[in-house]
Structure 1
Amino acid sequence: MTAPNEDPAVRSARREALVVFGIWLAAMTYTIGYCSMFGYGRSADDLKFVLGFPDWVFWGVLTPWVICSVISLWFGATFMCDEDLGEELPEQDDELGLGG
């Protein structure tokens, strides 16, 4: 059985969603892994600070968050695009005359 032709807007949206999901999955995996390895079982004397954050919070939470924000902005500005949705339907009044 062959798949029906898919609308290009749906195909593009699915591809963009998969990229965003991949970014999220990579960030989550790194954050959980890094924070579980370096955030637990440490004494207070061993704790170091980077820009006022404990080092494991800075490298395990803040850094991936900033990197994901930069990647998302780059992805949105570079690869995401508007798709033609076809002709616009004429406006019709609804039963109550409110429009829309």
Structure 2
Amino acid sequence: MPPREEDALLRSARREAIVIVVLWAVALVYTVTYCALYGYDRTIDDMTFVFGFPDWVFWGVIFPWTLCTVFTWWFCNFFMGDEPLGDDSKVPDDFTDDF
């Protein structure tokens, strides 16, 4: 039996899922690494603040989450696309009262 051709909807969904999982993994590794390196073993004297947050919280959590939010907005509005789901000719336009 010859292999079936993948549906375009499945291919698109897989591509979008891979992009999101890769972004999530990169953000996770960056956040955990940055916060582990710069958040511990610090004295009060060498701590600086960015917009009221300790610098390691701002650059390790707030900044990457903001970038992820901006990327997610772009991804959902410009990268993701609608795919045709198939023919709806078998589905009636309205329901009857005969339930």
Which structure 2 segments of 5+ residues have no match?
Answer: none
What SS does the aligned partner of 1:45 have? coil
Rate the CA distance shift 1:28–1:2 in 2: closer, same or farther, 3 A. Answer: farther
Number of aligned residue pairs: 94
What SS does the aligned partner of 2:85 have? coil
Distance 1:80 1:31 in 2: 26
Structure 2 equivalent of residue 75 of structure 1: 75
Structure 2 equivalent of residue 10 of structure 1: 10
Which structure 1 segments of 5+ residues have no match?
Answer: none
Structure 2 equivalent of residue 32 of structure 1: 32
Structure 2 equivalent of residue 90 of structure 1: 91
The list of structure 1 runs, each at least 4 consecutive aligned residues, that deviate by more than 4 angstroms after superposition, is none
Is residue 42 of structure 1 aligned with residue 19 of structure 2? Answer: no
1:72 positional shift: 1.3
Rate the CA distance shift 1:42–1:78 in 2: closer, same or farther, 3 A. Answer: same
The one-letter code of the counterpart of 2:31 is: T
1:47 positional shift: 1.3
1:3 positional shift: 3.8
TM-score (norm 1): 0.85
Alpha-carbon deviations, 1:40-96, whole Å to 9, x = none?
A: 1111222111000000000000000001111111122221001000112425x8xxx
The one-letter code of the counterpart of 1:80 is: M
Higher relative contact order (CA 8 A, sep 6+): 2
Please tell me the root mean square deviation across aligned C-alpha atoms, in Å: 1.8
